Structure 1
Amino acid sequence: MPNPSTTVAPKVVLITGASSGIGEATARRLASAGHHVVLGARRTGRLSALTQDIEARGGSAFAHVLDVTDPAGVRSFVAAAHSRYGRVDVLVNNAGIMPLSRLDALRIDEWNRMIDVNLRGVLHGIAAVLPLMQAQRSGHIVNISSVSGLRVDPTAAVYSATKHAVRALSEGLRQESREVRVTVISPGLTRSELTASIGDSGIKDAVETQMGIAIPATAIGEAVLYAIDQPADVDVNELVVRPTAQG
């Protein structure tokens, strides 16, 4: 059953990439806290199952197909949420991919896909919700980055570039905003399906070996809940959440 805060009114929270990993865990945690979650992803079967499970546990959830690389699709996702609830309080820009590779492997299609999902997808989300939030004179945009946005490692040059860009966007938006709050959350090694997109088997095996110390995706869901449940005049701008054992 939901366990809403005694001090925080339920919010309408849109989550991209909600069909698995951090997105799914965040949806479950926010719904359990009494918030209305709007779930977006391409895998509609998973979205439907997640929505049904949240509602069976007493939560409020609504699913809508979403491809963050399609600006019109993102606008449709946001419009559906606004039509259903009459407002949009929070957007969690979570959708992302991580096909790591060395630059000299020249996996250009993968580079472009990371730019499209990890960077343009975030921009599309911001563009779709910002006018509504400005009209409401309130709102909160939470961008999921990575510790790879704080450092660069071999095989992660392009992935890190997209995550550095997400942090830069978040800071720029924060400085331009006085009524819309902005939070960037940078997870460390976290259990999810991100490694499935790695095409180089050697790199994939190396990363999956490191995942032995990974934290559960629920840890990031808790961080999102902490940020959005702060009083309106408190803006938690950046959270880094990594395993204690991660160097």
Structure 2
Amino acid sequence: MTTTPHTQSIRSPYAALSGRTALITGAASGMGEATARLLAAHGARVALLARREERLTGLAERIGADGGTALVVPTDLTDQASVDAAADRVHAAYGPVDLVVNAAGVMLPNPIADGRADEWRRMLDTNVTGALRVIRAFVPDLVEAAGAGGTADLVNISSIGAHVPFPNYAVYGATKAALTYLSQSLRTELGPQDVRVTNIEPGLTDTELAGHVDNADLSAELDGMFEALAGLTSDDIADLIAYTTSRPRRVNLRQVIALPTRQA
């Protein structure tokens, strides 16, 4: 039977991801997991970084069953030695990476007057310093890839909380504002070297972050927001990341603010 343009296979909008080497933090759940699945489904080999090895192993098995390639790399981003060991393992298995997604993060809201220094340290160590450790370890790879004529991407997952203040989320918002500003500044350093830096700022999104909240009143408030606003899914954010990183290397979608329609 003669095919027509309508019956011929349609080129994937993410075809440019095929053959790339991606590293995703926070890959055990939420946006990181969804991003790893989507990038692998379109031909990228993915390095999965997170603390929960059993979750990473299950994800890698699912990716492999679907024909993809995934490397399990248990990593604690709050520990420099752990990040260094992860970089060594990724480089030994895959060589240099050309796509880095900083998706790891924690959200621990409480009134500032509660003085929860333990939560402040955890958010700063994960959301800011953890991202910096990954950037330090893999930016040389990105510069090398871009210098060789390839596409190189650094994607940081921030939050609408970087711009819009919410009561009791001051420290979380401050860490995300730091990540947003870091992304802006890195573009001035890495853009001239053809490395793209993209900052994704989701609004209300259904991830495990809400499960970390230990304040019953704030947890109930979050539940009410999801019911009222119909939050985004992790797959929605993964889709944005795949789209952004599959554009021609001359195009840098520098900042994407993605909100549920009812929140916008």
- For normalisation by structure 1, the TM-score amounts to 0.95
Q: Aligned pair in 2 of structure 1 residues 101, 7: CA closer, same or farther (>3 Å)?
A: closer
State the shift of 1:162 in Å.
0.2
1:172-231 alpha-carbon deviations (Å, 9 max, x no partner): 000111221100001111111101111111111111221221111100000110111011
One-letter identity of the residue aligned with 1:222: D
Using the alignment, how far apart are the partners of 1:6 and 1:202 within structure 2? 45
Could you say what secondary structure the match of 1:61 adopts?
A: strand
* Aligned position for 1:192: 207
Instruction: For residue 5 of structure 1, report the CA deviation from its aligned partner.
Output: 4.3
Which stretch shifts more, 113-122 or 6-15?
6-15
Equivalents in 1 of 2:259, 2:88: separation in Å?
A: 34
Structure 2 match to 1:92:
101
Residue 17 of structure 1 and its aligned partner are, at CA, apart by 0.6
C-alpha distance in structure 1 between counterparts of 2:132 and 2:120, whole Å: 17
Alignment partners' CA distance in 1, 2:165 and 2:14: 39
Q: Percent identity?
A: 38
Aligned match of 2:87: 78
> Structure 2 regions of 5+ residues with no counterpart?
1-11
Paired with 1:237 and 1:28, the residues of 2 have a C-alpha distance of: 23
Task: State the alpha-carbon separation in 2 of the partners of residues 186 and 164 from structure 1.
Answer: 10
2:226 equivalent in structure 1: 211
**Corresponding position: 1:147 with 2:160:** yes
Return the TM-score normalized by structure 2: 0.89
The one-letter amino acid of 1:183's match is T
Aligned length: 245
The CA deviation string for residues 130-161 of structure 1, in whole angstroms up to 9 with x for no partner, is: 12222332621100001101211101100000
State which drifts further: 153-162 or 124-133: 124-133
Distance 1:202 1:5, change over 3 A: closer
The residue that corresponds to 1:62 in the other structure is 71
Output the aligned Cα RMSD: 1.5
Deviation at 1:76, TM superposition (A): 2.1
Secondary structure at 1:154's aligned position in 2?
coil
Tell me if the contact between 1:5 and 1:34 (Cα under 8 Å) persists in the aligned partners.
no
Task: Describe how 1:106-121 pairs up with structure 2 within 5 A.
Answer: 106-121=115-130
- Contact kept, 8 Å, 2:16 with 2:247, in 1: the verdict is no
Picking from 159, 165, 175, the partner of 2:188 is 175
2:77 and 2:126 in contact (8 A); partners too: yes
Gaps of 5+ in 1: none
After superposition, give the CA deviation of every residue in 1:105-142 in whole Å (9 maximum; x if it has no partner).
11111011101101101111111111222233262110
- Does residue 31 (structure 1) correspond to residue 46 (structure 2)? The answer is no
1:86 Cα deviation after fit = 2.0
In structure 2, the residue corresponding to 1:182 is in which secondary structure?
Answer: strand
Cross-structure match for 2:55: 46
CA–CA distance in 1 between the matches of 2:62 and 2:51? Answer: 18
Q: Is the 8 A contact 2:196 2:252 kept in 1?
A: yes
Q: Is the 8 A contact 2:15 2:246 kept in 1?
A: no
